[in-house]
Structure 1
Amino acid sequence: MIRYSQEFKESAIRKILPPENRSISELSEETGVTKTTLRKWKKEAQVVGAAAPCNEAQISRWNGEDRLQIVLETYGLNESERSEYCRSKGLYPEDIKAWRNACIKAAVGQAIGYDKSQQEAGVSKKKYQELEKELRRKEKALAEAAALLVFRKKAQAIWGDEEEE
């Protein structure tokens, strides 16, 4: 099993990712590193936040993390820079706009869900407090009834039954 230095891995990853955007097949032939190993290195780089992939056959094959990464990469770009970025990735600016809108909708949906869960938590807390109050009232009533029964038995033991007289 061949071991590669960290510097070699990083230089290979830089060639795969933007701005060079070289294909894995091309780099594999050049370096002699297997395609599987290069894909693994690329995936590891994406996990730690490297630039999004490019040269994919179809945009639909990109997962949500890759799309979010592209939205983040293009957020601060002006129109011409964004167009250049899209050409290098084989994208359309409309794709990025759609992905950005999807991200915003997801974030807003999460915020709305959070607000709803906060409201539900408040309602649940009130309900819990009401149930606790009712439980304390019933426990007091039960304790009072038990005390009355004990007093009645003691009274009967001391004075006897009223029926005997």
Structure 2
Amino acid sequence: MARFSQERKEAVLSRLLPPYNMTVSDLAKVEGISEATLYNWRKQARLRGRAVPGPKPNNTDQWSAEAKLATVIETATMSEAQLNEYCRQKGLFVEQVKAWKEASLAGFQSAEQQDKTLKQQSKADKQQIKKLEKELRRKEKALAETAALLVLRKKLDALWENNDADD
């Protein structure tokens, strides 16, 4: 079983991307590596968040969320000219990268909105707990008062019975 260095794997996988846009089967023939190995490398690269094509070349709809986010992060500091060059190399459109960036930001805004909702719910829960604890203390006091009255009642009844027996 042949072992390939990480650099070799990256170099081979880069030939799947523009400007080469080779298919896996063509690349396997050229490099002398089995197609199954190339598919496995591509899958591993995609899991690491690398932007690699799906089963159909240039079909960015099948890219994983991790690959799209990796592309957004990679292009975040680029100028417009650098972004254009990057997109040409990867076979992307600038509009796609911008749409992915907006989607990422929307996801973060959703998280902020969820945090806000969670804080409001937590505050409402704390108020409800406080209210229930207050009611519980009131009922415990009433129960203790009732128990004390019952004990006094029994003592009074016992005292009256003793007085009746003495007469």
Scaled by the length of structure 2, what TM-score is found? 0.82
Give the Cα–Cα distance (whole angstroms) in 1 for the partners of residues 4 and 140 of structure 2: 70
1:103-138 superposed Cα distances (whole Å, 9 cap, x missing partner): 111111111111110121111111111111211110
Gaps of 5+ in 2: 163-167
Q: Residues 84, 11 of structure 1: CA spacing in aligned structure 2 closer, same or farther, 3 A cutoff?
A: same
Q: Distance in 2 between matches of 1:139 and 1:6?
A: 74
Measured on the aligned residues, the alpha-carbon RMSD in Å equals 2.8
Look up the match of 1:39: 39
Q: Paired residue for 1:61? A: 62
| Matching residue of 1:116 | 117
Conserved? CA contact 2:51–2:63, under 8 Å: no
Whether 1:160 and 2:157 are equivalent positions in the alignment is no
Matched positions, count: 161
Aligned counterparts, 1:81-120, within 5 A: 81-120=82-121
**2:165 aligned partner:** none
1:46 Cα deviation from its structure 2 partner: 3.3
Q: Is the 8 A contact 2:58 2:91 kept in 1?
A: no
TM-score for the superposition, normalised by structure 1 = 0.83
Q: Within 2, Cα distance between the matches of 1:94 and 1:115?
A: 31
- Say whether 1:151 aligns with 2:152: yes
Structure 2 equivalent of residue 25 of structure 1: 25
Q: Does 1:5 align with 2:3?
A: yes
Partner of 2:13: 16
Cα distance in 2 for partners of 1:32, 1:116 equals: 56
Deviations 1:89-109 (A, max 9, x none): 221111111111111111111
Quickly say closer, same or farther: Cα 1:44–1:138, change in 2 above 3 A: same
Deviates more, 1:32-41 or 1:20-29: 20-29
Report the equivalent of 2:51. 52
Shift of 1:32: 2.7
Decide whether the 8 Å contact of 1:17 with 1:52 is kept in 2: no
* SS state at 2:109 partner: helix
Give me the identity figure in percent: 36
Structure 1 pair 123/56, CA: closer, same or farther in 2 (3 Å)?
Answer: same
Instruction: Determine if contact 2:13/2:42 at 8 Å carries over to the other structure.
Output: yes
Matched residue type, 2:45: A
Counterpart amino acid of 1:79? E
Indicate the SS of the match to 1:60: helix
Stretches of structure 1 that go unaligned for 5 or more consecutive residues are: none
Distance 1:138 1:86, change over 3 A: same
Task: After the TM superposition, list the runs of 4 or more consecutive aligned residues in structure 1 that deviate by more than 3 angstroms.
Answer: 17-23
